Amino acid sequence: MKPGHGEVLLAEGDPLMREDEERLVEEFRRQLDEGMWAAVPTTEPGSGRREAQMVKQYGEIPPGAERVIFFPRASGG
Amino acid sequence: MILALLVLALVGLALAGPLLAPVISRKRAERAAKRGSGDLPELAFYDPGRERRAELRARELLRSCVNDEEWGMYRDLGFIRVAGRHARRDADRGQAAVYAYLVYPHKPIVAYLPGTGRLLSEYCVEFPDMSGATGSRLPASDDVLAKWMALTSDEDRVISRANMHLVGRQLDPARVRRDLWRLAEWERRRPRRGELSSGTQ
């Protein structure tokens, strides 16, 4: 999510492919270095409950996650 | 004959446009550089549809992340309710949420007690442009989604970063109470799916 623009596709690829994964890791780190927060929307299998999971490292992304959403850090308004 | 020549000239101009555009812009840049820094900067091209398109994309993104009830709530009422995660006692976990939040776009998050409707506090939080640019903000639905993601993933972190005030600093308490009444009416008209609980928000 980018202020003034909304949703912007940063990178996409198959994390099982080495080249793609390197690109995804690089973009992930770049976003976090810029101060963004990263979250993965999840659905609990049993209850269907929707929530987000904050991830601070690429390795924390749940397997099978379709997307990671980066958004600006919250601050007091 | 004249008409044919005019058409030919127009076609020629249209074809030469892409070739001439870089030359013209380079000349303009050179002229601007010669004039020095005292000139006003060129105004960026304003696209009046950009914000609308951004909001439409943001709505779709929000819809794809939250559940049907939350999406319907936002679509119909303009805000989303998020259940608070903390319970008074461990034994209360999994029961109906003790408190909840109303998440408005570009307005403070309001904490309240679902049982009594009592308003607790408002949390002023924003998601500023990390590039340092001023004046731009997230589309309304992205702002709601950012708050939703922050609250459902790490409630304590976002609440600790927010500025807390009593309800009334930015939001009209009467309006919030009216929104709670609208929410209750909205839920009454919907097929009942169970109590608000931290597990089925």
- Please give the model's pTM, rounded to 2 decimal places: 0.76
Residue B96's pLDDT is what? 77
CB contact under 8 A, B58 and A6: yes
Asked whether residue B10 carries a pLDDT value surpassing 80, the answer given is no
When comparing pLDDT for A18 and A2, which is higher? A18
Which pLDDT band, with edges at 50, 70 and 90, does B18 fall under?
low
CB contact under 8 A, B136 and A3: yes
Give the whole-number percent of chain B exceeding pLDDT 70. 67
B47-65 pLDDT tens trace? 778 888 889 999 999 999 9
Q: B106: closest CA among B67, B61, B145, B75? A: B145
Asked whether residue B199 carries a pLDDT value surpassing 50, the answer given is no
Q: Which residue of A has its CA nearest to B82?
A: A51
Mean pLDDT across chain B: 82
When comparing pLDDT for B32 and B85, which is higher? B85
Interface of B with A in 130-169 (CB under 8 A): 130-131, 133, 136-139, 142, 145-150, 152-154, 157-158, 161-163
Asked whether residue B154 carries a pLDDT value surpassing 60, the answer given is yes
